Amino acid sequence: MIVTLTPNPSIDRTITLSEPLARGEVLRSISTHDDAGGKGVNVAQVVRQAGQLAVAVLPGDHDDPLLVRLRELRLTHRAVPTGLASRINLTLAEPDGVTTKVNAPGSALDPAHLDALINEVARETPGARWAVLSGSLPPGVPSHWYADVIARVAGDGLSIALDTSGEPLREAVRRQPHRIDLIKPNETELADLVGVDASTLTTVDAVVAAAMPLIDAGIGAVLVTLGPAGAVLVSGEGSWHADAPSVEARSTVGAGDSALAGYLLGALDGLDAAKRLSLAVAYGSAAAALPGSTMPRPADLPPLPDVHHWNEG
């Protein structure tokens, strides 16, 4: 089983445009669709659709539209009531598959809400294989909060995956590196984390070199998603690269979350590092080929890409 924590979930509203986005112009839409969103919610949905158990922990009231959608999806979840409305993130999807996202900041949570979220995760993790901590933090939440969550829930048999960015990622890596089994940055987030120029991460060698100090610090593995260039996996056992399959991109929303879910599904099935990476890239590509915030099912997967072992670690 996988438990996910999403402290700043959202309704993901996708507006599909009939023409390319143009600033200052009046545009027409083809459709508008609202989906339950948030990185951990997306991961849980992909995992559940693949036939594995998943529980999503998040803030939200019973009558919040986000919680209503989770019940419609029959996605098992544990919600902490806050009396606050879930944020709405806007995605503008152009005909050629280019997407523009406008993310709202979310509502501030008080310390009691934050403690309740941690307690819900701790309640669900006994017997779970992975805890996935993901997404941005709501306004006012201290940047070390994910590090605090890891300290509270890490235990024997539970692996921790962290998918966030900026200060929350830096603080967790600085404070709890040996308790983090996986992080999933894209190349920009990786560059920010290790203090290099993102424009230098244009080759697999450069990505591997940037990720290695994180492995040396104690992180179990680094899964770097590279969009159309696939993904790189770095661990103490070695480094691997997989190219992305050729798909017609319709929306990149949730592609990184789907890649993480694919990796975790491989881990649940006991697959080796290369096969986990192959599944990660296939799920990420499948998400990019689907409209809006639609999360992929196994039937949506393209052929699994080949994986190249980059070095022997």
Catalytic residue among 61, 257, 272, 306: 257
Q: What is the 3-state secondary structure (H, E, C) of 25-45?
A: CCCCEEEEEEEEECHHHHHHH
Q: What angle do CA 90, 94, 95 make, to 5 degrees?
A: 145
* Residue pLDDT, tens place only, 177-218: 999 999 999 999 999 999 999 999 999 999 999 999 999 999
- Sign of the torsion angle spanned by Cα atoms 152, 157, 161, 167: positive
Helices (H), ranges, the chain:
39-49, 65-73, 111-124, 145-153, 166-175, 187-194, 204-217, 255-268, 273-288
Amino acid at 286: A
257 is catalytic: yes
Q: Which domains does the chain have, with CATH numbers?
A: 2-311 (3.40.1190.20)
pTM for this predicted structure: 0.94
Residue 34 phi, psi dihedral angles, 5° rounding? -105, 130
How high is the pLDDT of residue 312? 47
Residue 236: other Cβ atoms inside 10 A: 12
* Residue pLDDT, tens place only, 84-132: 999 999 989 888 878 898 999 999 999 999 999 999 999 999 989 999 9
* Residue pLDDT, tens place only, 260-284: 999 999 999 999 999 999 999 999 9
**CA nearest neighbour of 169 among 48, 9, 39:** 39
Q: Which residues share a beta bridge with 238?
A: 235
Structure tokens at 252: 């990149």
